[in-house]
């Protein structure tokens, strides 16, 4: 009767084979496995997040893909400095309320329609109808188009940063023919960029091909395949096996990057990018309302040592309010305090904190110097640093408890001022001009106010309406000095854009910013 058993097994095996055959026949996409043969200019990139939408500014995951397909009036590629994009030049009126842009002639959208002033008007009017982050377009009261290739924006209030705002992904120009009848939804990915959109298999891959009618220098890479690989370990293994040619490190640990460095088929290149990570004090609470306590904590933490030891290759220690990618805006004389435990103890002593019961922790009026350090539980770098800071602060006589919270709770605590110390990413700075940063943290109307003073409010108010370049720079310098002199926060690290690149790709130079991370493909080629 063994045959019954055999029959069961045979049935299961045949079911398995049939199922495999049916399912593989049902698959929507042809298999895209190993790396392409050399000379064929095809590059496969492993990306963490799917693009989510065809709309350039609609979903977080789309941003990086956007700037291969779409373009803005002003470009920030390759050096994070404003350069002509779809506009060739721009001028501001003396009062800062009118901006004129001269548009590039002879540019066509991927659908064949010409790019002109009317396409810009359509896009700005569309953006005004949507609930998307308001960058610049919300200030536009009216638009004038004296001819097909000139557009004049009349603003409701002076804005010096308007061209920078126009560089953003939210203001990328989509072909008016690609919008739905309401003029709101983007139905086709038709831009003017160096790559044309071919296909998008949700949750799997996006395929782009070179736009042979591109107005600028045509890239050498003919086809870009963007594979969605959410897991950081899988992305590493995919590049090790040659399934993908490029990946941006995100979520990997330093030891993985070390291991990748030893792989002779790959190389690693990086550039400063993202934002700065900071340690905030709750200045609305005791004892952080005392500048000496804030200065003491700033001196007691060895930022440079901890960051270099724990997170080498991924980030660089921070000394200034902004990273070097903000170039002329960084005040070279506003520098973070140096690590000095003796200085920290001295400052705390001056503030009245003594170790009266010899337990190693300072106290004052019977109260121990205890505090919590809150960080986002999903961020591995914060966890590693928080533990290091905890032990360094103990040396200075401060008892720190670590509190890891989920992302949703994190911003709520920051907004409701329910924390002592908080490790957090700098408010995302959307373009080359960091003016917006101060408003969000250091004014009463900011979303996450961490400090209020009349001096700061005044300086920030002045900066918002100032339209004189050198005057603005002075205000920037003054504000940064004010922040660090008053120990309002501790700059911790600048994130690096770390790329792992297959050795068969040459010329890929990592970009020092955020939106244009994939744009170095324009200079790259397959060997």
Partner 1 sequence: MLRFIVKRLALILVVILGVTVLTFFLMYLAPGDPAQLIATARYGPNLDSQQIDAIRTAEGLDAPVYIQYARWLGHLISGDFGNSLITGEPVINEISLRFPATLQLAFISLLISLLIAIPVGVISAVRRGSSLDYLCMGAALLGVSIPNFLLALLLILLFSVYLGWLPVYGKGGIEHLVLPSVTLGIAQAAIIARLIRSNMLDVLGQNYIRTARAKGLPDSSITFKHALKNALIPSVTVAGLQFAFLLEGSVIVESIFAWPGIGKLLVDSIFARDFAVIQGCSLLIAVIFTIINLAVDISYVYLDPRIRYGKPRNIG
Q: How far is the CB of 405 from partner 1 (least distance, A)?
A: 8
Q: Which residue among 84, 114, 118, 132 contacts partner 1 (CB under 8 A)?
A: 132
Give the integer Cα–Cα distance in Å for 292 and 387.
Answer: 23
Cβ nearer to partner 1, comparing 20 with 342? 20
Give the integer Cα–Cα distance in Å for 73 and 143.
Answer: 15
Q: How far is the CB of 325 from partner 1 (least distance, A)?
A: 16
Angle 380-395/303-311 helices, nearest 10 degrees? 140
Q: Which of the residues 409 through 428 are near partner 1 (CB under 8 A)?
A: 409-412, 425, 427-428
Q: Is 201 helix (H, G, I), strand (E, B) or coil?
A: strand
Beta strands 42-47 and 246-248 are parallel
Cβ nearer to partner 1, comparing 231 with 289? 231
User: Contact between 198 and partner 1 (CB under 8 A)?
Assistant: no
Whether the CA torsion 135, 136, 138, 144 is positive or negative: it is negative
Q: Which residue among 185, 223, 383, 418 contacts partner 1 (CB under 8 A)?
A: 185
User: Contact between 187 and partner 1 (CB under 8 A)?
Assistant: no
User: Contact between 497 and partner 1 (CB under 8 A)?
Assistant: no
* C-alpha closest to that of 102 among 62, 152, 44: 152
Cβ nearer to partner 1, comparing 132 with 466? 132
Give the integer Cα–Cα distance in Å for 226 and 28.
Answer: 17
Q: How far is the CB of 7 from partner 1 (least distance, A)?
A: 9
| Selected range binding partner 1 among 35-43, 344-352, 408-416, 519-527, rule: CB under 8 A | 408-416
Cβ nearer to partner 1, comparing 240 with 523? 240
Residue 474: in which H helix or E strand, if any? helix 469-485
Reading phi first (left if > 0) and then psi (alpha if -120 to 50, else beta), residue 127 is in alpha
> How many helices and strands in the chain, by DSSP H and E?
14, 21
Q: What is the DSSP letter of 85?
A: S
Cβ nearer to partner 1, comparing 405 with 473? 405
Q: What is the DSSP letter of 354?
A: B
* C-alpha closest to that of 140 among 126, 157, 123: 157
Is the distance from CB of 145 to CB of 151 less than 8 angstroms? yes
Cβ nearer to partner 1, comparing 151 with 463? 463
Cβ nearer to partner 1, comparing 145 with 377? 377
Q: Which of the residues 360 through 389 are near partner 1 (CB under 8 A)?
A: none
Instruction: Give the position of tokens 């705002």.
Output: 165
| x-or-dash string of contact with partner 1, 18-57, rule CB under 8 A | -xxx-xx-xx-xxxxx------------------xx---x
Q: How far is the CB of 267 from partner 1 (least distance, A)?
A: 19
| x-or-dash string of contact with partner 1, 152-181, rule CB under 8 A | ------------------x-----------
Q: How many CB atoms lie within 10 A of CB 67?
A: 27
Cβ nearer to partner 1, comparing 50 with 420? 50
User: Contact between 228 and partner 1 (CB under 8 A)?
Assistant: yes
Is the distance from CB of 368 to CB of 323 less than 8 angstroms? no
Instruction: Give the position of tokens 């377009």.
Output: 137
Q: Which residue among 440, 464, 480, 504 contacts partner 1 (CB under 8 A)?
A: 440
Q: How far is the CB of 387 from partner 1 (least distance, A)?
A: 23
| Bridge partner residues of 443 (DSSP) | none
Is the distance from CB of 106 to CB of 211 less than 8 angstroms? no
Give the integer Cα–Cα distance in Å for 382 and 340.
Answer: 22
Cβ nearer to partner 1, comparing 35 with 392? 35
Binding residues for partner 1, rule: CB under 8 A, are 1-2, 4-5, 8-9, 12-13, 15-16, 19-21, 23-24, 26-27, 29-33, 52-53, 57-60, 63, 131-134, 170, 185, 201-205, 227-231, 233-234, 237-238, 240-241, 243, 405-412, 425, 427-428, 430, 440, 446-447
């Amino acid at each position: 009767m063994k045959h019954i058993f055999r029959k069961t097994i045979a049935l299961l095996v045949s079911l398995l084979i049939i199922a495999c055959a049916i399912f593989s026949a049902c698959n929507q996409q042809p298999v895209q496995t190993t790396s392409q043969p050399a000379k064929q200019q095809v590059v496969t990139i492993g990306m963490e997040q799917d693009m989510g939408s065809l709309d350039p500014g609609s979903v977080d995951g789309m941003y990086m893909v956007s700037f291969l397909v779409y373009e803005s009036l002003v470009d920030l590629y390759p050096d994070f400095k404003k350069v002509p994009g779809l506009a060739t030049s721009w001028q501001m009126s003396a009062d800062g309320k009118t901006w004129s842009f001269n548009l590039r002639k002879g540019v066509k959208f991927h659908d064949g329609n010409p790019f002109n002033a009317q396409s810009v008007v359509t896009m700005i009017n569309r953006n005004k109808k949507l609930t998307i982050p308001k960058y610049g377009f919300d200030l536009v009261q009216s638009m004038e188009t004296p001819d097909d290739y000139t557009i004049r924006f009349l603003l409701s209030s002076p804005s010096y940063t308007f061209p920078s705002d126009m560089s953003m992904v939210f203001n990328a120009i989509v072909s008016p023919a690609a919008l739905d009848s309401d003029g709101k939804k983007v139905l086709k990915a038709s831009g003017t960029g160096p790559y044309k959109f071919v296909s998008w298999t949700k949750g799997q891959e996006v395929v782009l091909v070179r736009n042979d009618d591109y107005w600028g220098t045509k890239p050498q890479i003919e086809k870009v395949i963007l594979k969605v690989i959410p897991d950081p370990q899988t992305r590493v293994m995919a590049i090790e096996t040659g399934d993908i040619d490029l990946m941006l490190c995100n979520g990997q640990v330093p030891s993985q990057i070390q291991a990748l460095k030893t792989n002779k088929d790959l190389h690693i290149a990086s550039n400063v990018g993202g934002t700065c990570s900071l340690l905030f004090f709750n200045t609305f609470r005791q004892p952080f309302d005392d500048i000496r306590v804030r200065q003491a904590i700033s001196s007691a933490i060895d930022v440079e040592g901890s960051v270099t030891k724990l997170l080498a290759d991924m980030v660089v220690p921070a000394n200034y309010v902004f990273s070097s990618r903000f170039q002329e805006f960084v005040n070279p004389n506003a520098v973070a305090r140096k690590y000095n435990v003796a200085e920290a103890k001295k400052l705390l002593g001056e503030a009245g904190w003594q170790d009266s019961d010899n337990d190693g922790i300072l106290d004052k009026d019977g109260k121990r110097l205890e505090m919590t350090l809150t960080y986002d539980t999903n961020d591995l770098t914060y966890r590693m640093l928080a533990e290091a800071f905890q032990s360094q602060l103990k040396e200075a006589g401060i008892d720190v408890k670590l509190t890891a919270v989920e992302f949703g709770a994190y911003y709520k605590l920051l907004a409701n001022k329910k924390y002592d110390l908080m490790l957090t990413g700098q408010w995302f700075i959307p373009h080359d001009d960091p003016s917006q940063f101060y408003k969000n943290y250091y004014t009463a109307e900011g979303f996450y106010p961490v400090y209020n003073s009349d001096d700061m409010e005044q300086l920030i108010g002045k900066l918002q309406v100032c339209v004189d370049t050198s005057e603005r720079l002075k205000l920037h310098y003054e504000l940064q000095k004010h922040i660090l002199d008053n120990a309002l926060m501790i700059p911790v690290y600048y994130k690096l854009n770390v790329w792992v690149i297959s050795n068969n790709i040459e010329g890929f130079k990592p970009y020092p910013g955020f939106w244009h991370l994939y744009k170095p493909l324009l200079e790259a080629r397959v060997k």
